[in-house]
Structure 1
């Protein structure tokens, strides 16, 4: 073991890697409760829970490599992206978790607040925010809830030889909109949306996926900026908003 790697760290939580073990330190034990329960329920490859001693959760690493990173071109094959889509479909077809997700009116209220902040603080032009707020409205409609991962960033999906070997970071899992997971997975990688859908199966509302891209980006920019991340980096959230039509 060559020392300890700080994977992510901010005021609310931190993740450290020590060899083949990830240590998640979280001040909100409800998030850890959800992560442990979701890992136990999910019918897809997940990290092994090694031990838990609040506020620390120890997880084994998963084999393979993340199929991509936001802001960078993915080197994963179309087959790996399709396998990711099939894995997401398997999760969405599973029995619902017993805990609910966020209500649409709550998301809409948060979105309106963040859009107002983006404009009043001159973070983004009002026209860009307004256009994406209108696009985002397509996500705020009734849906049939499924078992969602809730934070399915492309860097949370691992593959080896075009086979999905692990899906990590389950603390946001809940009942939710299937399109939300598909949008999160393909955020900043719209060129692989067709590959994901090829594995996921027919019946995906593409406009709904694009609407969730706008929702996710506008909700994330303030948090990212305040926690040491750059949403205006090439290929990241601001670029995604600019690409929306």
Structure 2
């Protein structure tokens, strides 16, 4: 092995790839422990844990590839997207895990954080007030009663691997736990709205998915993420990323 690939790195954590092994270094040891626990409980394919010596977690690489990434083109057939939807549904139908995940925070807690972020985005001149105000209104639909499910909590499009039309694994489980299942569906399709119907086709017939809530989570997740992304060296203004997702709601 003649090189080490930096997959992602910021002040909180870093992920390196060395051959067929991913090394995750996390400053929060509890977060890595939660990831190991969630993968053991999840009824879907996950990476094999090679060893865990805090603060480092070693995972075997998954075969296949993802359907894309936020800000990049989406790939895969409608059948592949439906396969991803079926895997997400299998997770959501599983027995509830013991802990509450990121998708399970109370409406009051999320609303308070959202209001603070919206105020900061405008005060710091990051986004225009009308864009923030409109998306804050759209986000309101997420604050409704929901039935808890086993959620991934950070189910970005780059976190599900497929080989053809078969899901080979789901990665990055540190935010998993009891939560709102529509949060996962919205996170996976953020920036790739044109594939939502394909995903829902696999998620299951007879499942009533409120599209207003999906739109709400697109707005809410984007508003909450922008300042964090800027602080950690990412660009939410890049084409197809969070700011474009907010503009799509105008």
| Matched residue, 2:123 | 120
Deviation at 1:167, TM superposition (A): 0.5
1:213 aligns with 2:229: no
Give the root-mean-square deviation of aligned CA atoms. Answer: 0.8
User: Whole-Å Cα distance in 2 between the matches of residues 139 and 119 of structure 1?
Assistant: 22
User: Whole-Å Cα distance in 2 between the matches of residues 143 and 129 of structure 1?
Assistant: 25
Deviation at 1:72, TM superposition (A): 1.4
Q: How does 1:149-164 map to 2 (within 5 A)?
A: 149-164=152-167
1:12 aligns with 2:12: yes
SS at match of 1:127: helix
| Matched residue, 1:239 | 244
| Matched residue, 1:32 | 32
SS at match of 1:158: strand
| Matched residue, 2:139 | 136
Deviation at 1:2, TM superposition (A): 3.4
| Matched residue, 1:189 | 192
User: Whole-Å Cα distance in 1 between the matches of residues 54 and 69 of structure 2?
Assistant: 30
1:180 corresponds to which of 173, 183, 191: 183
Deviation at 1:11, TM superposition (A): 1.3
TM-score (normalised: structure 2): 0.96
User: Whole-Å Cα distance in 1 between the matches of residues 39 and 124 of structure 2?
Assistant: 39
SS at match of 2:75: coil
1:230 aligns with 2:235: yes
Deviation at 1:219, TM superposition (A): 0.3
Deviation at 1:195, TM superposition (A): 0.3
User: After superposition, what is the alpha-carbon deviation per residue over 1:39-90, rounded to whole angstroms, capped at 9, x for unaligned?
Assistant: 0000111000000001000000111001111111212111111100000000
User: Whole-Å Cα distance in 2 between the matches of residues 81 and 161 of structure 1?
Assistant: 10
TM-score (normalised: structure 1): 0.98
Deviation at 1:33, TM superposition (A): 1.3
| Matched residue, 2:209 | 204
User: After superposition, what is the alpha-carbon deviation per residue over 1:124-160, rounded to whole angstroms, capped at 9, x for unaligned?
Assistant: 1101100000000000112110000000000001111
User: Whole-Å Cα distance in 2 between the matches of residues 2 and 84 of structure 1?
Assistant: 34
Which segments of 5 or more consecutive residues in structure 1 lack a partner in the other structure? Answer: none
Which segments of 5 or more consecutive residues in structure 2 lack a partner in the other structure? Answer: none
